[in-house]
């Protein structure tokens, strides 16, 4: 078994060496399930805008299993509002069928509590990076590297920040790592008061670093694709609930290659019109 259930009933989401070896063999392409904003409450009966986040994740997990990914990422807002230990306990139990088979990597959002998260998920896939006060990790995913950044600034308030230590780490990291890289970070990257407040400084760092191909983010509970100087910006839909009926609720199947990727929406609620549609992106050259 790739994880153990501790006395306190908390899950460890480590991948087995066999799973990691399999992922490394996939040097030409790799399949990942991309989720965001699952907003799991400790109490499974919670309803928000008519959606039940627990039911939505229960529906998503078998679909992810059928996709047989090399890994799954949840791009922040793991918990309902405040990142309570009970929220993470419920989340750990819900993702367990996927975590038994493949790495489940999670970034932190503004409705997460870093300390509670790190306690609940004591063993996490990827290589943890030494960034003061932040949870940053790097996953080696065949044709590319996946970097999970940490934009959690205040629990249960809207705005986010990478902060100086993480930006400095990022500059150093990109100087010595030239492999094609995609980032996952929770907050939106515009100049709004509820976005990642240092997103412009983030872009100043990654724009000239041509090995950076795409940034995936959540927070807005919207699904969209943009570009900034050939760098792809992908706003993942929310699994928990949308803020607006025009948006899908669901997740994205990703097929990453060295030169690009294919991304297929799997809507489970909200606006399902685009469900099953694939967006193909080509990475900018290094
Ligand atoms: Zn959210």
Q: How far apart are CA 223 and CA 86, in angstroms?
A: 29
C-alpha 24 to ligand 1 mean position (Å): 32
Packing angle between helix 85-99 and helix 53-67, nearest 10 degrees? 20
Domains of the chain: 17-282 (3.60.21.10)
Return the structure tokens found at 52.
């039940």
Which residues have a Cβ under 8 Å from the Cβ of 237 and sit 6 or more positions away? 36, 37, 221, 222, 223, 247, 248, 249, 250, 251, 252, 265, 267, 270
User: What value does the mean pLDDT take over residues 273-280?
Assistant: 98
**Does 82 have pLDDT greater than 70?**
yes
- Per-residue pLDDT at 14 exceeds 70: no
Lowest model confidence (mean pLDDT) among 16-30, 45-59, 138-152, 202-216: 16-30
- Higher per-residue confidence, 14 vs 165: 165
Q: How confident is the model at residue 12, as a pLDDT?
A: 43
Residue 14 near residue 124 (C-beta atoms within 8 A): yes
Q: How far is the CA of 191 from the centre of ligand 1 (A)?
A: 18
Is 160 in contact with 196 (CB distance < 8 Å)? yes
CB 67 within 8 A of CB 33: yes
Taking only Cα atoms into account, the Rg of the chain, rounded to an integer number of angstroms, comes to 17
The confidence score (pLDDT) of residue 100 equals: 95
Average of per-residue pLDDT values in the chain: 92
Q: How far is the CA of 268 from the centre of ligand 1 (A)?
A: 17
How far is C-alpha 234 from the geometric centre of its chain's CA atoms?
11
CA of 125 to the centre of ligand 1 (A): 23
pLDDT for 26 equals 59
pLDDT, residue 42, reads: 92
Q: pLDDT by residue (tens digit) across 179-188?
A: 999 999 999 9
> Which tens digits make up the pLDDT trace of 264-276?
999 999 999 999 9
| pLDDT at residue 1 tops 80 | no
Q: Which residues pair with 72 in a beta bridge?
A: 33, 104
Measured in Å, residue 273 CA sits from the centre of ligand 1 at 22
Average pLDDT over residues 277-284: 98
264 CA to centre of ligand 1 in angstroms: 21
What share of the chain has pLDDT > 90, as a percent?
A: 87
């Amino acid at each position: 078994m790739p994880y153990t259930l501790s006395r306190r009933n908390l899950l460890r989401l480590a991948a087995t060496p066999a799973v990691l070896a399999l992922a490394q063999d996939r040097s030409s392409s790799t399949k990942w399930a991309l989720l965001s904003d699952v907003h799991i409450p400790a109490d499974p009966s919670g309803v928000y805008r008519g959606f039940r986040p627990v039911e939505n994740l229960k529906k998503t997990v078998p679909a992810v299993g059928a996709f047989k990914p090399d890994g799954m990422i949840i791009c922040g807002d793991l918990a309902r509002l405040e990142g309570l230990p009970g929220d993470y306990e419920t989340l750990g139990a819900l993702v367990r069928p996927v975590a038994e088979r493949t790495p489940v990597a999670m970034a932190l959002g503004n409705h997460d509590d870093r300390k509670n998260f790190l306690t609940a998920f004591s063993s996490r896939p990827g290589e943890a990076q030494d960034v003061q006060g932040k949870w940053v990790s790097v996953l080696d995913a065949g044709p590319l590297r996946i970097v999970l950044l940490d934009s959690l600034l205040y629990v249960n308030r809207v705005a986010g920040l990478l902060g100086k230590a993480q930006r400095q780490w990022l500059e150093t990291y990109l100087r010595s790592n030239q492999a094609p890289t995609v980032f996952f970070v929770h907050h939106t990257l515009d100049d709004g008061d509820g976005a990642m407040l240092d997103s412009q400084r983030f872009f100043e760092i990654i724009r000239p670093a041509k090995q950076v191909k795409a940034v995936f983010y959540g927070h807005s509970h919207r699904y969209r694709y943009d570009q900034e100087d050939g760098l792809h910006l992908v706003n993942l839909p929310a699994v928990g609930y949308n803020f607006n009926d025009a948006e899908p609720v669901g997740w994205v199947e990703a097929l990453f290659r060295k030169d690009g990727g294919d991304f297929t929406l799997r809507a489970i609620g909200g606006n399902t019109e685009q469900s099953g549609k694939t967006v193909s992106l080509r990475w900018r050259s290094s």
